[in-house]
Amino acid sequence: MYGWIWRHLPGPLYLRVVEAVVLVVGIVALLMFVVFPWAEPKLPFNNVTTQ
Amino acid sequence: MPPRGMPPRPRPVDPPTEVIPRVEDDYDDEYYDDDYYDEDEKDALPPESFARKAVRGVGEGLITMGLVVLLFVVYEVYVTDLLSAEKQQDATAALDSEWSSNTVTPPPADPNRQSKLNLIEGKAFAKMYIPVFGNDWKFSVVEGTTDKHLEIGPGHYKDTAQPGEAGNFAIAGHRVGKGAPFNDLDLLESCNAVVVQTQTQWFVYRVLPMSSEVAGWASNPKSKQPACTGVAPLSTTLGDAYAKTVGQEIVLPTQGEVIAPIPHQTAAAVPADKQARLLTLTTCHPRFSDRQRLIVHAIETKSYPVADGFVPPEMTEG
């Protein structure tokens, strides 16, 4: 998977490194600001109230 | 110096410098040549089969999932802190501007006839300090205990008593992430002060004696300390209805009776005007789990009217 992505990134080496970093940052941001806030209430970690 | 009479020894003559023509060495070129290297590599690896690809894909997938889980821990423990700090700041700023803009009616002298605060869900209405946790431990308490409210800060259970009111002023707060206001709640000891400030009044609550201290409280040297003035096991001062109300307890999430006006007594056997003025804090337990709830009960021992430049002496404890 990682090898496949690397092979399909266009441009010379330095450009490919930049593209890879942008991809990683984008995915981390997507997880942090969209996926995790959505998933968190569904997980049994942080319920602090009594019923 | 050689001895006299002997002829000097002939010195060897330096041979003329021989110029060796540069030899063309193509070893390096060959070694670093991409084609050469790649060919070698390909020879060493077995051909790409479907099974190889599948195994590699699964392996990379597992590594990726591990990274995502690690990232989630970072999010939960650090990133939510940042997001919540901003919300807490906004709530505090809103509260400060509200307090500074509207007119203050001085609180009535009779503590049983307090004016009710107008609580709006999601809005901060009081500030909370725990001096033993340090000067910087302060949070604005919002109304409501849904996930959204608790992201802002400690949340007041709707329909429980207000600060300084008879009954049980109950607050929930996160223990991990989201600012983690109640991170160290398990470290509170009996007689530690929890100070709540509203627009007009300061209320000093003190943690009740722990269940292990209830039996020998009168003979316990701790009970003579000035901090413990007004703190005693409630069963001795208020009767058996309060027998289960101690400084700290760990209960199941379903035990909502801990925030009842008289904790553990859902059928109120004591009229409202005879109820103690309690504060109850709830958070998750053990840390990183929601299997149980950690509960801390405190009782109001003092109140002061808010005045310019006045800070209760309890604020410097710890």
**So what's the ipTM on this one?**
0.89
In a domain, A50, yes or no: no
User: Which one-letter DSSP state was computed for residue B262?
Assistant: B
pLDDT bin (cut points 50, 70, 90) of residue B128 is very high
Tell how strand B155-156 and strand B248-251 pair up.
Answer: unpaired
B163 pLDDT higher than 80:
yes
Could you give all domains of chain B from N- to C-terminal order, each with its CATH number? 73-316 (2.40.260.10)
Q: What is the pLDDT of residue B109?
A: 60
In tens, the pLDDT along B236-285 reads 888 888 888 899 999 998 888 889 888 888 775 677 777 889 999 999 88
The dihedral built from the CA positions of residue B123, B135, B73 and A30, taken in this order, carries a sign that is positive
Residue B287 pLDDT class (50, 70, 90 cuts): confident
Return the residue in B266, B284, B291, B295 with the most chain A beta carbons within 10 A, the one to mutate for interface testing: B284
Contacts of residue B226, defined as CB under 8 A and 6 or more positions apart, other chains included, come to none
- pLDDT at position B44: 66
Which residues have CB under 8 Å from B159's CB, separation 6+?
A: none
The answer to the question of residue A31 being in a domain is: yes
* Residue A47 is assigned to a structural domain of this protein: no
A10 is a domain residue:
yes
Residue from A35, A43, A49 to probe the interface with B (highest B Cβ count within 10 Å)? A49
Q: Does the residue A46 lie in any domain?
A: no
The whole-model pTM stands at 0.77
In a domain, A49, yes or no: no
What local confidence, expressed as pLDDT, does residue B92 receive? 94
Which residue matches tokens 């569904």? A42
Residue A48: list chain B partners with CB under 8 A.
150, 172-175, 182, 282-284, 290, 293
Model pLDDT for residues A1-51, shown as the tens digit of each residue: 888 899 988 889 999 999 999 999 999 999 999 999 898 888 777 677 776
Residue A26 lies in a domain: yes
The total domain count for chain A is 1
A41/B147 touch (CB, cutoff 8 Å), yes or no:
yes
Domain span including residue A7: 2-41
How many other C-beta atoms are found inside a 10 Å radius of the C-beta of residue A45? 17
Q: Is the pLDDT of residue B154 over 90?
A: yes
- Whether residue A36 lies inside any domain: the answer is yes
- How does B136-175 read in b/e, with b if 16+ C-beta sit within 10 Å? eebbbbbbbbeeebbbbbbbbbeebbbbbbbbbbbbbbbb
C-alpha A14/C-alpha B120 separation (Å) is: 55
The pLDDT value recorded for residue A50 is 75
**For the CA atoms of chain B, what is the radius of gyration?**
36
Q: Residue B32: what pLDDT?
A: 55
Say yes or no to pLDDT of B31 above 60.
no
Interface of A with B in 19-48 (CB under 8 A): 28, 31-32, 36, 39-41, 44-48
* pLDDT score for B244: 85
For residue A2, give how far its alpha carbon lies from the nearest alpha carbon of chain B (Å). 8
Rounded average pLDDT over B8-16: 77
